[in-house]
Amino acid sequence: MARKVDVRLVFQRRLKQARLTQELSQRDLGINAGLDPFVASTRINRYEKGIHEPDMATVARLAAALKVPTAYLFAEDERLARMILAFEQLSATEKDQLLKTVENP
């Protein structure tokens, strides 16, 4: 029953890592996500450090600014995280095809 890595830690890690991948400062990420430029740095910092939790709307805007699906930021399992990113790169038909093979036992 134990062993559940806190989602908040997962969120922090994925947020920071995705930001660094996009080569954005905390401030610029916040601005790109539509936050007031005067508070962008402060708020992103608090989200990455786990001091505060953003609401869902903010999470979605962050994900958009980071060019990742919102779900990615909550993927505890590393393999699932990679799959989410890879899946997004596929065309609609490729997605359908992949689903067809994976969903059938």
Partner DNA sequence: CCTCGATACTACGAAACTCGTAGTATCGCG
Partner DNA sequence: CGCGATACTACGAGTTTCGTAGTATCGAGG
Residue ranges in contact with DNA by CB under 7 A: 25-27, 35-36, 38-39, 41-43, 45-46, 48-49, 51-55, 58
Per partner kind, with CB cut-offs from 5 to 8 A, the member of a second copy, DNA, none near residue 67 is: none
Query: Is residue 68 within 8 Å of residue 75, measured between CB atoms?
Result: no
Per partner kind, with CB cut-offs from 5 to 8 A, the member of a second copy, DNA, none near residue 39 is: DNA
Nearest approach, Cβ of residue 83 and DNA (Å): 28
> Between 40 and 75, whose beta carbon lies closer to a second copy?
75
CB burial of residue 6 (10 Å; 0-12, 13-18, 19+): exposed
